[in-house]
Amino acid sequence: MSKGEAEKYINYLENLPNGKKISASAADSILFEAGEEAFANGDCAKTILALNAYLDRFPAGFFANKAHFYRGECHYKSKKFDEAVKDYEFLFADENSTYYEKVLLKSVFILYNQKKNYEKSLELYKKVKAIASTKQNAQIASLGSMRASFYTNKFEENILYCDEILGNKEFAEDIQLEANYYKAKSLFATDKKDLAKPYLEIIAKKSSSENGAECKYLLAVYENGKANYEKSLDICFELKDDFASYQKWVVKAFILIGDNYLKLDDIFQAKATIESLLSNFDEDKALVEEAKAKLAEIELAGKGKSKVDFK
C-alpha cells in the first residue's frame, strides 16, 4: 500500500455510512506500513515519501524509530548524507534501541569521511567504543578515535589511543605503522622529541610512503635541534636519495641542509645550497618564501663574518 493509498484508505473507512473515526494507533500503523512495504521492496523514493507523511503526522509515533532508520538508510543509499545523519541522530536518544550502534557507526562514517568533522567524529567514536558489541566494531572505534584525536590536535589523548593500538597485535601491520606515525607526531608536537625519536625511526625505516619522508625529515630536524649538524646533514641527504618522489620533504630537507651548513659556519656552502634550490624550484610559494627567508639569514650571517658582500 502506497502512502497515498494508505491515507485514502483511512479517509474511506472514516467516511463509510456507519464508519467510525480511525484511532490514532490504527492510523499510525496503516501509514507506517506503507513506508515499510516500500523499504522492503527496495523503493527508496516511495519509502521517503511515505515516511515523510508518517513522521509529519506522527513525529513521536509508535514506529518513529523504525521510520527514521528506514528513511535514514534510504538517504544514505542516495548519498544524501546530511539528511541521513539527521535521521540517525534522532535514534541517538535511545541507547537501548536495536539501531543505536548501527546508526552511530553510519553517522561517524559520514562525519569523518564525507564531512571531515573530526570533533564530532571523535565524540561518536567514543560512544561506539563504550558499547561495541563486536571485536570489529571495537577496533573501528579505536582506530577512528586515534585518527580523529590527532586531527583535532588532542595530542595527549592521541598518544593514549596509539598505545592502545600498538599494544593490540590483532591490528594489521599497516595500522600498527599508522599508530607509530601518529604517536611520533603527537610526541613531537608536545615537545617530547626525545620520546618521539624511536617512533620516527620506525616509520622512516619501514614506510616508503610520504609519512616515511616526513619522519625522515623530522629526524633531521631533531638532530639539528641537538646541534648534531653533521648527522642532520647525513639524514637530509639520505632523505633526498630514499624519498626523491616526495618533493615537499626533499625541498624542506635542502632548506635544512642550508641551515646545517650555516650552523657549521660554512657560509659559502649554505648560500650555494639555497641559491641552487631557488634556481630550480618555484612550484610551492610557501616553500619558496621559506627558502628566501633562510637565504636572507645566511647572507646576514655572512656579512657579520666578512667584508664580502654576498649579492
pLDDT in tens, 84-110: 999 999 999 989 999 999 999 999 999
Q: DSSP labels for 118-134?
A: HHHHHHHHHHHHHH--S
Band of pLDDT at residue 16, cut at 50, 70 and 90: very low
Q: Where are the domains of the chain?
A: 1-67, 208-311
In the predicted model, is pLDDT for residue 309 greater than 70?
no
The answer to whether the beta carbons of residues 47 and 38 sit under 8 Å apart is yes
Band of pLDDT at residue 21, cut at 50, 70 and 90: low
The answer to whether the beta carbons of residues 302 and 267 sit under 8 Å apart is yes
Classify each residue of 54-72 as buried b or exposed e, where b means 16 or more C-beta atoms within 10 Å of its C-beta: bbeebeebebbbbbbbbbb
Residue bearing the bigger pLDDT, 1 or 92: 92
In sequence order, which ranges of the chain are alpha helices (DSSP H)? 3-14, 24-40, 44-57, 64-77, 81-90, 100-109, 118-131, 135-151, 155-166, 173-189, 193-206, 210-225, 229-242, 247-263, 267-280, 285-305
pLDDT in tens, 253-295: 999 999 999 999 999 999 999 999 999 999 999 999 999 999 9
Dihedral, 248, 252, 255, 257 alpha carbons, nearest 10: -120
As a whole number, mean pLDDT of residues 181-190 equals 98
The pLDDT of residue 57: 87
The pLDDT of residue 12: 43
Hey, which CATH number is domain 208-311, 3.40.190.10, 1.25.40.10, 1.10.10.10, 3.30.420.40?
1.25.40.10
pLDDT in tens, 191-218: 999 999 999 999 999 999 999 999 999 9
Band of pLDDT at residue 34, cut at 50, 70 and 90: confident
In the predicted model, is pLDDT for residue 13 greater than 50?
no
Whole-number Å distance between alpha carbons of 188 and 309: 39
* pTM, full prediction: 0.86
